[in-house]
Each structure stands twice: as structure tokens, then as C-alpha cells.
């Protein structure tokens, strides 16, 4: 059975450009409910830990710098088949390849500054949700 939560971050460049509202609107219109949400800022160490899976990639150091450069919004989103449906809503990692109507097509600035994060599996969604939120921070709609 597909999981019903995913973890998103609205990344620093999108927060700085005042895209929190428009992006949350697209998320709500796509049928996701917000089960937990906060505005926060990652330390270098937290960004390193969140993206540890990419630590061997050439873009890792820049990604960590970028993700800890300013405030982000982290949220747990809930709906059926949340991980896959949210990946469809955000579009391709590189906004140049993202389809019309996706969040990244509309709001991303570049491959690195691509507006939003979305979990890539149900397993990682749970790990990433726990990274930002305690159980007591979460609302359960289902
Ligand atoms: P995803 O966010 O679509 O899941 P990942 O491959 O998991 O993409 O990469 C994590 C993040 O790292 C991307 O969202 C993007 O911000 C950044 N990134 C990925 N590939 C590159 C690259 O080739 N150059 C610079 N940044 C990259
Ligand atoms: Mg990823």
C-alpha cells in the first residue's frame, strides 16, 4: 500500500522571493493537507545530515551551503500516494525539464535553487518527517 505522507521543504531562494504563499496554494489545490509545518533555518550540520545520501556527489558542498543560507519552510503533507503524487506536482529536479503546471516549472530558479524538496520514497518520507517534527507536532486527518 502506498504511504500517505511526504516531506517537503520550500527552499531558501523561494522563501526569499516570497513564494511561500503561492507554493502552499498549489500544494493545497493538488489535494494535499498540511499535517505539520514550520519556518526554520538549517545549520550547516543539519543540511549536511539531511542530504547525507548525496555526500559523495560533486554538488553536495554547494547544496549544503545553499540549503543553510536562509529560512526554509518544512512541512509534512498528507494525501493518498503522497510521495509519488507530490513528485508529479513538483516536476523534474532540473526546472528546465519540469513540465508546465509543476511547482518547479513555475517557481524554480536553477537546478540547485529548484524551489522545493520532495521525499523520494515512503521510507525516506518517514525519516525526513522525523528529522523536522515530533509526533506531537503532527495532525492526523485520516
Ligand atoms: P530531487 O530534489 O529532485 O530529489 P536529488 O537528486 O535528490 O533531486 O538532489 C537533491 C537536490 O540537490 C536537488 O533538489 C537540487 O537542489 C540539488 N542538485 C541535484 N543535482 C544537482 C546538480 O547536478 N547540480 C547542482 N545541484 C544539484
Ligand atoms: Mg531527492
pLDDT at 3: 82
Angle 51-32-7 from CA coordinates, rounded to 5°: 15
Ligand 1 shell residues, CB under 6 Å: 54, 59, 63, 93, 111-112, 114, 117, 120
Cα 135 to ligand 2 centroid, rounded to whole Å: 23
CA distance linking residue 62 with residue 105, whole number of Å: 22
pLDDT tens digit sequence for 42-81: 999 999 999 999 999 999 999 999 999 999 999 999 999 9
CA distance linking residue 125 with residue 8, whole number of Å: 9
Closest-lying ligand 1 atom to the alpha carbon of residue 93: 3
Give the residue numbers annotated as catalytic, written as ranges: 117
Residue 104 in contact with residue 68, Cβ under 8 Å?
Answer: no
| Complete domains list, the chain, with CATH | 5-137 (3.30.70.141)
Q: Which ligand is nearest to the CA of 116?
A: 1
pLDDT at 142: 65
| Global confidence as pTM | 0.97
CA dihedral 135, 30, 3, 91 (to 10 degrees): -110
Amino acid at each position: 500500500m502506498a504511504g500517505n505522507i511526504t516531506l517537503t521543504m520550500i527552499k531558501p531562494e523561494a522563501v526569499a522571493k516570497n513564494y511561500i504563499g503561492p507554493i502552499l496554494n498549489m500544494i493545497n489545490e493538488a489535494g494535499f493537507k498540511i499535517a505539520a509545518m514550520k519556518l526554520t533555518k538549517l545549520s550547516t550540520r543539519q543540511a549536511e545530515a539531511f542530504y547525507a545520501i548525496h555526500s559523495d556527489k560533486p554538488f553536495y558542498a554547494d547544496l549544503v551551503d545553499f540549503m543553510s543560507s536562509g529560512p526554509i519552510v518544512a512541512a509534512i503533507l498528507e494525501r493518498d500516494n503522497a510521495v509519488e503524487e507530490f513528485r508529479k506536482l513538483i516536476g523534474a529536479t532540473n526546472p528546465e525539464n519540469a513540465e508546465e503546471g509543476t511547482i518547479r516549472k513555475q517557481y524554480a530558479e536553477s537546478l540547485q535553487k529548484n524551489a522545493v524538496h520532495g521525499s523520494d520514497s515512503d521510507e525516506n518520507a518517514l525519516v525526513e518527517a522525523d528529522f523536522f517534527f515530533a509526533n506531537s507536532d503532527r495532525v492526523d486527518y485520516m
